[in-house]
Amino acid sequence: MINKVVNNAQDALLGVENGMTFMLGGFGLCGIPENCISELVRLGVSNLTCISNNAGVDDFGLGLLLKKHQIKKMISSYVGENEEFERQMLSGEMDVELIPQGTLAERCRATGAGIPAFFTPAGYGTEVAEGKETREFNGKMYVLEHAFNPEFAFVKAWKGDTAGNLIFKGTARNFNPMMAMAGKITVAEVEELVEAGELDPNQIHTPGIFVQRIFQGKDYEKRIEQRTVTPKS
């Protein structure tokens, strides 16, 4: 089996440069590649284009990159949890492309699946469709949306093996599988790295073919954005 293991985040991010386009998995702070983000902050690379559903919060997730002005352009579906983001966007310091969440997911999937573009009904008749080709199918209007072209994809999984196979947990799966398919170089950080053969092949969510580098992550915070509970009765 091809061994995809690298020692740490530092080795996993070898080749990362200013001006590159990255995909980063996660929904809110759930399932984000914490170790890779920390390493991007440490490297100080800038002028980045980041494709990620959200932009983190002010002091965690992609918010850490925002604070250091490393991001030139953000491609997301929802950015409501981050004041610094809103400030940089409204002041024009940062470019932002907001796209429907399903379109974002499908554009990621298309990128890795060899589909250059596809038609979706989302956004028809809105400013999201401005300047884009539209077409009618069976009496309904659709908008043409294109695949991305990221240099790196950074994903986070629950378990992974040395062959790069990944298993996600709960709703931390979200965008990670499609982004894993899409990176020219896909880096997977995992909570638990095991030997090839230890994961049940029936249970693999992302086959190792999509993963170029995998490493054992550390010091996961796994912050909760909205802690909602049912009181003990």
Partner 1 sequence: MALSKQEIAQRIAQELQDKWYVNLGIGIPTLVANYIPKNIDVVFQSENGMLGMGPFPIEGEEDADLINAGKQTVTILKGGSLFDSAMSFAMIRGQHVQLTVLGAMEVSQNGDIANWKIPGKMVKGMGGAMDLVASAENIIVAMMHTDKSGASKLLKRCSLPLTGVNCVKKVVTNLAYLEIKNNAFYLIERAPGVSVEEIIAATEGTLIVEGEIPEMKF
Q: Which of 187, 147, 148, 185 is nearest to 166 (CA)?
A: 187
Nearer to partner 1, 70 or 111 (CB): 111
Nearer to partner 1, 7 or 233 (CB): 233
Sign of CA dihedral 90, 36, 28, 226: negative
Residue 180's H or E segment, with its range, is helix 176-182
Q: Which of 122, 80, 128 is nearest to 103 (CA)?
A: 122
Minimum Å gap between C-beta 210 and partner 1 is 13
Minimum Å gap between C-beta 13 and partner 1 is 24
CB atoms within 10 A of CB 204: 17
Nearer to partner 1, 200 or 232 (CB): 232
Minimum Å gap between C-beta 87 and partner 1 is 11
Nearer to partner 1, 48 or 104 (CB): 104
Amino acid at the residue 55? A
Q: Which of 56, 10, 67, 1 is nearest to 36 (CA)?
A: 10
Minimum Å gap between C-beta 158 and partner 1 is 8
Minimum Å gap between C-beta 152 and partner 1 is 19
Nearer to partner 1, 35 or 162 (CB): 35
Minimum Å gap between C-beta 101 and partner 1 is 4
Gap between the Cα atoms of 95 and 141, Å rounded: 28
Q: Which of 97, 101, 8, 24 is nearest to 63 (CA)?
A: 24
- SS3 string of 189-206? EEEEEECCCCCCHHHCCE
Gap between the Cα atoms of 48 and 144, Å rounded: 25
Nearer to partner 1, 111 or 162 (CB): 111
The residues that touch partner 1, with contacts defined as CB under 8 A, are 27-31, 53, 76-81, 86, 89-90, 96, 98-106, 108-109, 120-128, 158, 168-178, 205, 222-232
